[in-house]
Amino acid sequence: MKSFFGFFLCCLWFLLLDISASYNLNNPSPILAQSYAQRRNYGNPPNSKPPQRTLNPAASDSQCRSRPLDLVFIIDSSRSVRPGEFEKVKVFLSNMVDTLDIGTDATRVAVVNYASTVKIEFFLKDHLKKDSIKQAISLIEPLAAGTMTGLAIKKATDEAFTEKSGARPKSKKISKVAIIVTDGRPQDQVEEVSAAARAAGIEIYAVGVDRADIVSLKLMASNPLEDHVFYVETYGVIEKLTSKFRETLCEVKVEIVQDPCLCEARLAFQRQTQTSIQNINSKLADVTRKVEQMERMLARM
């Protein structure tokens, strides 16, 4: 009889070990985490509106819509910018246009080209479709010689950002943004003209490439500088900045898709519990069968 009780206690001990393993009692944090998620979801009434989240634009281009802008690119085409490098700048501009929501009531784009002279390639009012803007960009030719960055900023402020050129009136509250791309040191003063542009409500981003003077970039850019000054080592990687600007210029709120009853954590917990119970029932059946066998053996003795 003692051997029977010893066998029974041994089976019971193994059963308890199996139960402990099934529920991971030595490490209850996963169950506690699920319980917390379950309580959190119970705290949200079924008819409550799901929270909103700003999507990372890089993660979902199709859901990204840029906020309406009056956007002027100011691009350096001085002698230091080789023809192949200038083509990469144009590719960068085209890629940027692809990320924007272009239109009469959306974003409008202009391009100011500069070296020792300044040329407004096209105004904000000239092209209101992506294909048209990209075609105009593809036709831009470098001007060569000189780096009159200050003059380019002033011309953009005085001529490109005017209502006559297609900029929206202040009453519309459309952001005015200038993105300057340069690889050299300005040959004129940029501090005062940049300050005047910012005072006129123009937000300035300064992109430096290769030999660009970082001090000058900081004098041109808006605050905070860490959000408005960018640097890349070569024109070959400038297109990587597209995603940076996409994050900055994309502004859309998208509702999180959730289970209608907000109970996904509860259902997952229930499924795990059901599986564990099934395993326990199977173990109990095995123990019961072995006990019955032992009883029959004892009965024959």
**Residue type, position 23, single letter:** Y
What DSSP designation does 60 have?
-
Measured CA to CA, the distance from residue 229 to residue 220 in angstroms comes to 9
Q: Per-residue pLDDT tens for 115-163?
A: 999 999 999 999 999 999 999 999 999 998 899 999 999 999 999 999 9
Q: What is the largest CA-CA distance in the chain?
A: 113
Measured CA to CA, the distance from residue 138 to residue 111 in angstroms comes to 12
How confident is the model at residue 247, as a pLDDT? 83
- Indicate if the pLDDT at residue 181 is higher than 90: yes
What does pTM read for this prediction? 0.64
Q: Out of 3.40.50.1820, 3.40.50.450, 3.40.50.410, 1.20.210.10, which CATH number does the structure's domain 57-254 have?
A: 3.40.50.410
Q: Per-residue pLDDT tens for 224-272?
A: 999 999 999 999 999 889 988 988 887 643 333 444 454 556 666 666 7
Contacts of 288 (CB under 8 A, 6+ apart): none
> What are the φ and ψ backbone dihedral angles of 231, each rounded to 5 degrees?
-140, 135
Give the tokens for residue 170. 């202040």
Measured CA to CA, the distance from residue 45 to residue 175 in angstroms comes to 39
Q: Per-residue pLDDT tens for 28-81?
A: 444 444 433 344 343 444 444 433 333 333 334 444 566 899 999 999 999 999
CA end-to-end distance (rounded Å), the chain: 11
Measured CA to CA, the distance from residue 228 to residue 232 in angstroms comes to 14
Q: Per-residue pLDDT tens for 151-174?
A: 999 999 999 999 999 999 999 999
Measured CA to CA, the distance from residue 130 to residue 100 in angstroms comes to 9
Who has greater pLDDT, 271 or 182? 182
Contacts of 75 (CB under 8 A, 6+ apart): 89, 93, 111, 112, 113, 114, 140, 180, 181, 182
Helix/strand/coil percentages in the chain, nearest 5: 50, 15, 30
Measured CA to CA, the distance from residue 203 to residue 114 in angstroms comes to 19
Measured CA to CA, the distance from residue 58 to residue 61 in angstroms comes to 6
Burial of 181 (0-12, 13-18, 19+ CB in 10 A): buried
Q: Per-residue pLDDT tens for 14-25?
A: 555 555 554 444
